[in-house]
Amino acid sequence: MDKFVIEGGFPLKGKIKVNGAKNATLPLMAAGLLTEGISRLENVPYLTDILTMTQVLEGLGVKVRRKNRTLEIDSTHLFYYEAPYEPVKLLRASILILGPLLARRGHARVCLPGGCDIGRRPVDLHIKGLRQLGAKIEVNNGYIEASVKGSLQGSSIYLNVPSVGATENLMLAASLAKGATLIRNASSSPEVVDVANFLKHAGAKIEGEGTNLIKIEGVRQLNCVHHRTIPDRIEAGTLIIAAIITKGEISLEEICSSHLTSLFVKLRQMGAEIEAVDRWVRVKGGDLLKPIRVKTLPYPGFSTDLQPQITALACLARGTSLIRETIFQGRFTHVRGLRKMGARIEVDKSQVRTKGVGCLKGAVVRTPDIRGGAALTLAGLAAEGTTEIDGVHHLDRGYEGLEEKLSKLGAKITRVED
Ligand code: UD1
């Protein structure tokens, strides 16, 4: 397994572009199953999660071709309804093929998906919602077996929690259902809006995306589209925190600042300087970071995917910070590594309390998952001495060439290949 070796203490400086969003590309690839013929996604990052989703689609008979940052998805020959076990087991987002398969094939057999080990990740809302659309679904021996007689029927669905994935899956399925579907307490996240925009270009009738009430009027067929994926707000947020933790100053291009509002609020409270316009942001870290209180919430609240990174930053603030995780209970896998680096940090149920220290010290640590690994990388950039981060393959799932981007900004970070 590859590792990162980081020599800490170098402030990040310069400007860099942000890639297309992983969490938009994955559901967009699932949306490609609904359009007959060739759909094109632009601004697709090079990530192992995208490769895994490609394998899931190919296992269904779909042709996926990559030309630089454009992905062509040809679902003309969606021959199969059983998804290949191996890639589905690796990727939580592979559950998003369930709705499209039901809508187009009337059948789906998908094993319960895997993904990051960040706590309980049920798929009950996906299943319950699809049942409300008329599907018969059973879960046997780790497999979801789903079928529908004739076509899916529009329905009124309430989600107990505004799940991003369930909103996407149901919106995809409902686009080809008969009649109208209402999704109440839907996720309003930018990635859901991106998927809705793809579907609307393809001919779907959708209203209310970006709010908690989405209305979909089913259509008979969706056409091929050419769509550009939105910028990755989590990659952007990670790089922004990297600049602040190293007391540096960077600007990011090709972002969507409005997607990062909750992060900017918290970082300004901590004392960072942030100047943001529509597609661009400049951020400057200061010498004295103030402690912070953060609670993760569904969008537009503070993203759980940036919680480990801001926790790393809080470890260096002057005073006690409280960070509460309300989305994924087990998402404190980064704490062990941070402690090894000298952080004073305690976990109490769904909350961490950090007492800021003057500096972190380099150590040998292991990446627990994508965002936990990002947090340890940021801590390593700020730490005194050398940090070794094992298990970089987790980071490759969600960050394209993270070490190259950080090096370009002046960090001393190298990948040592196994
Ligand atoms: C997506 C993101 C992930 C992010 C998460 C929350 C992708 C590929 N991944 O994951 O990076 O951390 O949103 O913003 O887009 N839940 C249920 N039942 C369900 C589904 C979800 O109880 O059927 C719960 C989950 O356990 C969790 C909460 O709902 O507590 C939010 O999960 P959800 O929004 O569904 O996350 P994902 O779509 O899996």
Q: Where are the domains of the chain?
A: 2-19+231-417, 22-228
Q: What is the mean pLDDT of residues 92-98?
A: 95
Q: Write out the two tokens for 311.
A: 């926790």
Residue-level pLDDT at 391:
93
- Residue holding tokens 């004739």? 150
Q: Is the pLDDT of residue 115 over 70?
A: no
**Cα distance between the two ends of the chain:** 5
Give 130-162 pLDDT, tens digit per residue: 999 999 999 998 899 999 999 999 999 999 999
Tell me the residue length of the chain: 418
User: What Rg value do the Cα atoms of the chain yield, rounded?
Assistant: 21
Q: Is the pLDDT of residue 389 over 90?
A: yes
Q: What CATH number belongs to 2-19+231-417? A: 3.65.10.10
Question: CA-to-CA distance for 89 and 388, rounded, in angstroms?
Answer: 29
* Window from 76-90, 141-155, 285-299 with minimum mean pLDDT: 76-90
The answer to whether 291 and 344 are in contact (CB under 8 A) is no
Q: What is the mean pLDDT of residues 111-125?
A: 76
Strands (E), 59-170: 63-67, 70-74, 107-111, 136-140, 143-147, 156-158
Calculate how far, in angstroms, residue 163's C-alpha sits from the geometric centre of ligand 1: 5
The answer to whether 62 and 97 are in contact (CB under 8 A) is no
Whole-structure pTM value: 0.97
Q: Do domains 2-19+231-417 and 22-228 have the same CATH topology?
A: yes
User: What is the percentage of the chain residues whose pLDDT exceeds 90?
Assistant: 90
* Window from 60-69, 81-90, 222-231, 407-416 with minimum mean pLDDT: 81-90
Among 194, 327, 397, say which to mutate for ligand 1: greatest number of ligand atoms within 8 Å of CB: 327
Calculate how far, in angstroms, residue 86's C-alpha sits from the geometric centre of ligand 1: 21
Residue-level pLDDT at 79:
79
CATH class given for the domain over 22-228: alpha beta
Residue-level pLDDT at 64:
97
Residue-level pLDDT at 29:
98
Residue-level pLDDT at 114:
73
Q: Is 111 a catalytic residue?
A: no
Give 301-347 pLDDT, tens digit per residue: 999 999 999 999 999 999 999 999 999 987 999 999 999 999 999 99
Q: Is the pLDDT of residue 180 over 90?
A: yes
- Spatial neighbors of 226 by CB under 8 A, at least 6 apart, are 39, 40, 42, 201
Calculate how far, in angstroms, residue 13's C-alpha sits from the geometric centre of ligand 1: 34
Residue-level pLDDT at 166:
98
Q: Write out the two tokens for 258.
A: 């409005």
Residue-level pLDDT at 80:
85
The answer to whether 254 and 211 are in contact (CB under 8 A) is no
Residue-level pLDDT at 139:
92
Question: CA-to-CA distance for 411 and 382, rounded, in angstroms?
Answer: 10
Q: What is the mean pLDDT of residues 262-273?
A: 97
Calculate how far, in angstroms, residue 358's C-alpha sits from the geometric centre of ligand 1: 35
Question: CA-to-CA distance for 136 and 108, rounded, in angstroms?
Answer: 10
Return the ∠ at Cα 308 (arms to 307 and 310), rounded to 5°.
65
Give 200-244 pLDDT, tens digit per residue: 999 999 999 999 999 999 999 999 999 999 999 999 999 999 999
Question: CA-to-CA distance for 302 and 261, rounded, in angstroms?
Answer: 9
16: Cβ below 6 Å to ligand 1? no
Q: Is the pLDDT of residue 122 over 70?
A: yes
User: What is the percentage of the chain residues whose pLDDT exceeds 70?
Assistant: 99
Banded model confidence at residue 119, pLDDT cuts 50, 70, 90: low
Select which of 111, 116, 224, 315 is catalytic: 116
23: Cβ below 6 Å to ligand 1? yes
Question: CA-to-CA distance for 316 and 242, rounded, in angstroms?
Answer: 13
Question: CA-to-CA distance for 415 and 2, rounded, in angstroms?
Answer: 7
Calculate how far, in angstroms, residue 330's C-alpha sits from the geometric centre of ligand 1: 13
Question: CA-to-CA distance for 401 and 19, rounded, in angstroms?
Answer: 11
Residue-level pLDDT at 286:
85
Residues 218-221: contacts with CB under 8 Å, at least 24 apart:
218/152, 218/154, 218/174, 218/175, 218/176, 218/177, 218/178, 218/179, 218/180, 218/181, 219/175, 219/176, 220/176, 221/36, 221/176
Question: CA-to-CA distance for 171 and 179, rounded, in angstroms?
Answer: 13
The answer to whether 60 and 83 are in contact (CB under 8 A) is yes
Helix/strand/coil for 38: strand
Banded model confidence at residue 290, pLDDT cuts 50, 70, 90: very high
Which atom in ligand 1 lies closest to the alpha carbon of residue 163?
Answer: 34
What are the distances in angstroms from CA 67 to CA 185, 196, 258? 38, 24, 30
Q: What is the mean pLDDT of residues 102-111?
A: 94
163: Cβ below 6 Å to ligand 1? yes
Question: CA-to-CA distance for 300 and 320, rounded, in angstroms?
Answer: 25
Short-list 310, 304, 356, CA closest to 330:
304
Q: Is 351 exposed, middle or buried (0-12, 13-18, 19+ CB in 10 A)?
A: middle
304: Cβ below 6 Å to ligand 1? yes
Amino acid letter, 214: I
355: Cβ below 6 Å to ligand 1? no
* Strands 143-147 and 136-140, bridge-based pairing: antiparallel
Question: CA-to-CA distance for 368 and 382, rounded, in angstroms?
Answer: 19
Round the average pLDDT of the chain to a whole number and report it: 95
Banded model confidence at residue 247, pLDDT cuts 50, 70, 90: very high
